[in-house]
């Protein structure tokens, strides 16, 4: 069945948030980075502005700028309504209130949209669906990132996660996944089982982050070869 854009809620973060979530220091920021499920985040745009090297992969990059823009406008009101209803589940520190949240997210997504067509031509936004094989050789990227995608969508299942992360670890020297909770900010068996699987052949590290937006989502998973 063809993938439909109305099954996705596009909601994008910015470079500063990526830097804090993934604990990217200046050395990391100068490396070759892959962003999996980057969606409408403006990490790629902002990194390119500062001569960084980021390639973003996502299912939504099969759609046009106009289609993604329309979908962002469609979900904006619903997402903000949900945030208003659940605002006690969030830590209002880096982002101080709902108004600031909407401004930060919309500004990130506008910057993404302004860069999308150029970035597609330059091969920085690549339509790709995990866990399919990526057209890159072993260790092509230094770091692979997944923000608010892997480990969160538990309905995708254990096999999807193992296959996706195995493929990411084929083309990346290390991968970093944030956060380590599901959509309701709960720890899950899936996360424990995925960690046990990779601990057999890789170095696995769990790092507490200063960044915490949804209460409890302050842990970063790093898997290295």
Instruction: Output the smallest distance, CB 49 to ligand SAM, in A.
Output: 17
Distances (CA, A) of 75 to 5, 78, 126: 11, 5, 23
Answer yes or no whether residue 212 interacts with ligand SAM by CB under 6 A: no
Q: Which of 59, 79, 83, 163 binds ligand SAM (CB under 6 A)?
A: 59
For residue 149, state whether it binds ligand SAM (rule: CB under 6 A): yes
Cβ 173 to ligand SAM, closest distance in Å?
A: 20
d(CA 200, CA 54): 29
For 178-194, give the DSSP string: E-SS-TTS---HHHHHH
> Residue 11 and residue 148: Cα distance in Å, rounded?
10
- Residue 83 binds ligand SAM, judged by CB under 6 A: no
Stretch that binds ligand SAM, among 35-43, 183-191, 197-205, 212-220 (CB under 6 A): 35-43
**Contact between 180 and 151 (Cβ < 8 Å):** yes
- The footprint of ligand SAM on residues 95-134 (CB under 6 A) is 129-130
CA atoms 36, 41, 47, 49: torsion sign: positive
Q: Which residues bind ligand SAM (CB under 6 A)?
A: 8, 10-13, 37-39, 41, 58-60, 129-130, 147-149
């Amino acid at each position: 069945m063809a993938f439909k854009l109305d099954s996705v809620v596009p909601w994008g973060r910015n470079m500063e948030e990526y830097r804090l979530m993934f604990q990217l220091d200046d050395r990391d920021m100068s490396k070759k980075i892959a962003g999996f499920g980057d969606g409408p985040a403006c990490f790629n745009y902002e990194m390119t502005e500062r001569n960084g090297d980021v390639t973003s992969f996502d299912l939504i990059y099969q759609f046009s700028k106009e289609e993604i823009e329309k979908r962002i406008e469609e979900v904006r009101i619903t997402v903000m309504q949900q945030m208003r209803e659940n605002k006690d589940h969030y830590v209002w520190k880096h982002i101080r209130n709902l108004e600031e949240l909407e401004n930060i997210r919309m500004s990130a997504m506008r910057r993404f949209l302004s860069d999308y067509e150029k970035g597609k031509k330059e091969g920085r936004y690549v339509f790709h669906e995990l866990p399919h094989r990526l057209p890159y050789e072993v260790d092509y990227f230094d770091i692979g990132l997944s923000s608010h995608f892997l480990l969160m969508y538990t309905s995708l299942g254990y096999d999807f996660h193992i296959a996706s992360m195995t493929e990411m670890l084929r083309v990346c020297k290390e991968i970093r996944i944030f956060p380590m909770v599901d959509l309701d900010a709960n720890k899950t068996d899936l996360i424990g089982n995925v960690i046990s699987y990779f601990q057999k052949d890789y170095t696995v590290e769990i790092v507490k982050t200063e960044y915490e937006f949804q209460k409890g989502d302050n842990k970063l998973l790093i898997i290295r070869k």
